Structure 1
């Protein structure tokens, strides 16, 4: 399986509009972060988790010419706002795009993209096929087995996913002991870490490192990073050897 981090930034991205801090002024490409998303190439399938506002830019940058399915973690705009851009895949692949999400998330998508689901559809709008993730048991995404991992984003339930030996958790600051068991044994884990200071709905750097030291993957990468984290090269130098900061475009073989 090849995993590509399409975006590793928090909801505002990095640089932040109007900010002149050293991170936002950095010329290191690793400090320039689009909204968080990940692409999986597994078992001959091309699957993306979350389509944020930078979706079009991300798939063009990585030359992702085919897409078999789109899977959502939750309904926040920085994870869903790019949904309209799946139209290009509808046109080129000549088929509806399968969307996988919990019922609550699908309901939100129907509200925010009501024209997609209208009785009388405008020509050229996205064509989708909805699949409801019901419960926390394993399910298939176009033949690929996904295991959902329930995490909490403050009071909002969010899904992480395990696919084979890869686990992906973003927008979280709590995971139960029961759900940790689903993650244990993963060779690679991608986990959110917003900044150094504690946050109401995201793991801090210290919290993320502690959780990863408990889970003990062979390799781990941090994502959903804000400009308050600091410069990539400086923060990474202080991390345990098996934990690295993710960056946009990073490719991982699992």
Structure 2
């Protein structure tokens, strides 16, 4: 299994428009963060988690030639806004793109991308297949996936476990029952927005406390804002088994 971090930034990305802080002015490539997404390559399939507003740029940067399905964590724009650009894969692969998400999220996609779902579509619009998922294991184009139910303030969000790898973004609460589904993962990715508390995201200290409880061999932090600090400085504060993810980072399991 290979995991590529397509984006590791929060909803505004980093740098933030108009900001002159040291992170936004940083020349370190690790401080340049597109909206959060990953590519999972496993069992001969390429699965993308979330198609945010930077989806096209991410696909071009990583030279992705095939996507077999898109899995959505939730309906917020920084996770869905780039869905129109799956058209390129429709054209190349001659398939309707399978989309996996909670029924609530699929309904939101149908509203926001209504032109895709009309009875008489305009030529060239994306072609999709909708696959509703619940909080129970499912197959995404033959790949076993275990959803992890978390809360983003009061909004339900799905994390996903693929074998020994678990990915969770946009969370500030994970129930004991859902933590049990994560335990045993060799690698865990978890959101850590900033150092100060936030209403809907784990802070750095909160994320580290959760990771300490889950005890993976390796952990990566994602969905990072410019308020967390410069990559090179924050990494010095982390336990040996925890690293900050950055755009373009690839790991293999």
TM range (shorter): over 0.9
Q: Which whole-Å CA distance do the structure 1 matches of 2:216 and 2:138 have between them?
A: 23
* SS of aligned partner of 2:234: helix
Report deviation, 1:131: 0.3
Q: Which whole-Å CA distance do the structure 2 matches of 1:122 and 1:137 have between them?
A: 36
Q: Which whole-Å CA distance do the structure 2 matches of 1:95 and 1:51 have between them?
A: 18
Q: Does 1:200 align with 2:199?
A: yes
* SS of aligned partner of 1:140: strand
Q: Which whole-Å CA distance do the structure 2 matches of 1:9 and 1:212 have between them?
A: 20
* SS of aligned partner of 1:237: helix
Report deviation, 1:137: 1.2
**Structure 1 residue aligned with 2:161:** 162
Q: Which whole-Å CA distance do the structure 1 matches of 2:137 and 2:47 have between them?
A: 16
How far does the alpha carbon of each residue in 1:125-182 deviate from its partner, in whole angstroms, 9 at most, with x for none? 0000110002x11000000000000000000000000000000000000000000000
Provide the TM-score with structure 2 as the length reference.
1.00
Q: Which whole-Å CA distance do the structure 1 matches of 2:106 and 2:152 have between them?
A: 18
Q: Which whole-Å CA distance do the structure 2 matches of 1:95 and 1:41 have between them?
A: 19
**Structure 1 residue aligned with 2:74:** 74
* SS of aligned partner of 2:12: coil
Report deviation, 1:249: 0.5
* SS of aligned partner of 2:210: helix
**Structure 1 residue aligned with 2:8:** 8
Q: Which whole-Å CA distance do the structure 2 matches of 1:95 and 1:177 have between them?
A: 39
Q: Does 1:119 align with 2:106?
A: no
* SS of aligned partner of 1:12: coil
How many equivalent pairs are there? 253
**Structure 1 residue aligned with 2:148:** 149
Alignment of 1:75-154 (within 5 A): 75-134=75-134, 136-154=135-153
The alignment's C-alpha RMSD in Å is 0.4
Alignment of 1:13-52 (within 5 A): 13-52=13-52
Alignment of 1:214-229 (within 5 A): 214-229=213-228
Q: Which whole-Å CA distance do the structure 2 matches of 1:238 and 1:191 have between them?
A: 16
Report deviation, 1:69: 0.3
How far does the alpha carbon of each residue in 1:39-78 deviate from its partner, in whole angstroms, 9 at most, with x for none? 0000000000000000000011001100000000000000
Q: Which whole-Å CA distance do the structure 2 matches of 1:27 and 1:38 have between them?
A: 23
Q: Which whole-Å CA distance do the structure 1 matches of 2:182 and 2:14 have between them?
A: 29
**Structure 2 residue aligned with 1:238:** 237
Report deviation, 1:214: 0.8
* SS of aligned partner of 1:91: helix
Provide the TM-score with structure 1 as the length reference.
0.99
Q: Which whole-Å CA distance do the structure 1 matches of 2:29 and 2:238 have between them?
A: 20
* SS of aligned partner of 1:236: helix
